Amino acid sequence: MTKLSVNVNKIATLRNARGGNTPNVLQVALDCERFGAQGITVHPRPDERHIRYADVRELKQVLSTEFNIEGNPIPSFVDLVLEVMPAQVTLVPDAPDALTSDAGWEVGTHFQFLKETVARFEASGIRTSIFVGTDLDNISRAAEVGCRRVELYTEPYASAFQRGEVERVVDLFAQASQHAASCGLEVNAGHDLNLENLNYFVRRVQPLAEVSIGHALISDALYLGLEETIRRYRHELILS
């Protein structure tokens, strides 16, 4: 079954808005695990406007599920990941001032850089994933750089689902997942997945190892509570 990794960046955003340590990022992450999350994701940015590098170090000491660190592999990020040694690192080509991730890698353009970066992480035993779109040639190139997974950028799917124009778009993701598998890659997915669009995506896009969900899940938790929200997301990941 597809695993759920909860991105706790929004908890850190709320904490940082007031200062202090409320809400407590570590405690929320541990509660997510206790309530059924099968992984925790963070995306530290250079300005530390939400997750701080110190949070990443502290989370590694207490988590028992898979820890996934996302980010643009600038030198400080690479050093942090190699220090912390998470289960997975996801390479995302976001600019330092990006509000949120908005595109995958053009792998051919950055091929040598990605190959060298992936090699450093994989040599340390860290599973490496590359954030990509649905272009099949681009996914083939991702396999060539030596990563073990790709993460499909799902905002185009979420937007099409909301417009009621999802069939053509979801087929692109299904083809991308199958092609990635044929290249020897496992497949993750994330960005704008939520309780309304998640189950349809999971049923149509296979194989799918993991989804990473933050903004929607934390927003739902304001109404439903964290435990019930994670229960519902886990339920949506069951194929039907």
Q: Indicate the angle between helix axes 75-84 and 53-62, nearest 10 degrees.
A: 20
Residues near 113 by Cβ (< 8 Å), separated by ≥ 6? Answer: none
Question: In degrees, to the nearest 5, what angle opens at C-alpha 236 toward C-alphas 234 and 65?
Answer: 25
The answer to whether 201 touches 154, Cβ cutoff 8 Å, is yes
The answer to whether 197 touches 157, Cβ cutoff 8 Å, is yes
Known catalytic membership, residue 179: no
What dihedral angle (degrees, nearest 10) is formed by the CA atoms of 193, 191, 69, 176?
100
33, 186, 191, 236: which is the annotated catalytic residue? 191
43, 151, 179, 186: which is the annotated catalytic residue? 43
The answer to whether 132 touches 153, Cβ cutoff 8 Å, is yes
Write a three-state SS string for 81-147.
HHHHCCCEEEECCCCCCCCCCCCCCCCCCCHHHHHHHHHHHHHCCCEEEEEECCCHHHHHHHHHCCC
Known catalytic membership, residue 191: yes
Task: Dump the DSSP string for 193-230.
Answer: --TTTHHHHHHHS-S--EEEE-HHHHHHHHHH-HHHHH
Known catalytic membership, residue 43: yes
Residues acting as catalytic residues:
43, 70, 191
